[in-house]
Amino acid sequence: MATGIVIVVVALTTAAIVIDQTGVVHAVGKTDLEIEFLVTDESSGSPIPSAHLKVQTEDDSLSVMHEVIVDEQTDIHGVVSTLQTGAVCCWKRSTLGFRDAFSVDVPMWRYRVSADGYEETDWFYLSLEADQKRNGRVISSGRYRLVMPVVLSQL
């Protein structure tokens, strides 16, 4: 009896996986990408208001190399947000929804943060895969938010 149950469970699981993969739909579109930089203190985890964020493009074209696109201070919550409209996005939807996936092309940007009483960061680059998996969320239809945590060390 137990062997029969195991065979049925294995057969149903295999059938579900096969059915899920038979109707995979791939699509490409555009979305608004909100990139939120969240600056916090390394020891306390508290947000750092008035930290200075500088974001530059990092493109292969020499004409736009290192163009400054954000040069702002964080708010009282340690946040600076910027919006990129029309970012390319891709999604994959399987028949049963077991293997749905969504991603947004992150711009080729580098960023640096400084604040009074803290060590300035090196230049960091937005990372497509690692940052989206940890910090990316669809926040509404046609809008995606990527939160970039930045931790500063006191001098």
Per-domain residue ranges for the chain?
Answer: 24-152
Residue 26 has pLDDT above 60, yes or no: yes
Q: How long a stretch of residues is the chain? A: 155
What pLDDT is attached to residue 105? 78
- Angstrom distance (rounded) from CA 56 to CA 64: 9
Average confidence (pLDDT) over 45-67: 78
Residue 63: the pLDDT is 52
Q: What is the DSSP letter of 47?
A: B
Phi, psi of 101 (to 5 degrees): -145, 150
Q: Which comes out higher in pLDDT, residue 61 or 4? A: 4
**Cα 30 to Cα 66, 86, 144, distances in angstroms:** 25, 5, 10
| DSSP H or E run through 6 | helix 2-22
Among 147, 144, 23, residue whose Cα is nearest residue 89: 144
Express each pLDDT in 96-155 by its tens digit: 665 566 677 778 888 999 999 999 999 888 765 555 555 555 555 567 788 888 999 999
Q: Is the dihedral of CA 68, 73, 79, 80 positive or negative?
A: negative
Q: Which CATH number fits domain 24-152: 3.40.1350.10, 3.40.50.10540, 3.40.50.1220, 2.60.130.10?
A: 2.60.130.10
Inter-residue long-range contacts of 66-69, CB under 8 Å, 24+ positions, other chains counted: 69/109
**What SS3 class is residue 1?**
coil
